[in-house]
Amino acid sequence: MGLILRLIVAAGLAADAVVHWMFAPDMAYVEGGSIGGDDLFRIQAAVAGVVAVIVLTYGSRWAHALAFLVAASAAGAVVLYYYVDLGALGPLPDMHEPVWYLDKTISLVGEGGAALAALVGFFVAGRKRRAEDDVFEPEPVGRF
């Protein structure tokens, strides 16, 4: 089950990375903030890609926790900026986009699926670790 969860997390993060990388040039014209929308999208794509590799490589609790943070924050941002026009927030540009299209759906499904699988993977990896710690090993018998 652990491998399947890791593959789901990695696939969701990969979808997130591809969509953000494809749309980065279009976000160069977003106004406000000191970080350009294109840079923000490229950073998100790179972080999602790196975390996907980390989850595939390690599959530990911390890797799943990191994947959850990346995926859930991206999914939250997509939904938030669809419904709410927050304007520029500090260094972040005004990312409000009240339209929905297929690539945004692919990104949201990937991020949501990755977040859910990472959350489950976090607890599965923790349970597996505790089970390994609870294994009874008898003391070696030796001379006194």
For 58-101, where are the alpha helices, taking DSSP H only?
61-83
Distance CA 12, CA 72 (A): 11
Using CB atoms within 10 A of its CB, is residue 118 exposed (0-12), middle (13-18) or buried (19+)? buried
- Residue the block writes with tokens 């297929």: 102
Q: Please check the confidence at residue 1 and state whether its pLDDT lies above 60.
A: yes
Q: What tens digit of pLDDT does each residue of 3-54 get?
A: 999 999 999 999 999 999 999 999 988 888 889 999 999 999 999 999 999 9
Task: Quote the pLDDT of residue 31.
Answer: 86
Q: Is 89 helix (H, G, I), strand (E, B) or coil?
A: strand
Would you tell me how many other CB atoms lie within 10 Å of the CB of residue 88?
15
Q: What tens digit of pLDDT does each residue of 86-110 get?
A: 999 899 999 999 999 999 999 999 9
* Region of 100 on the Ramachandran plot (φ > 0 left; ψ -120 to 50 alpha; else beta): beta
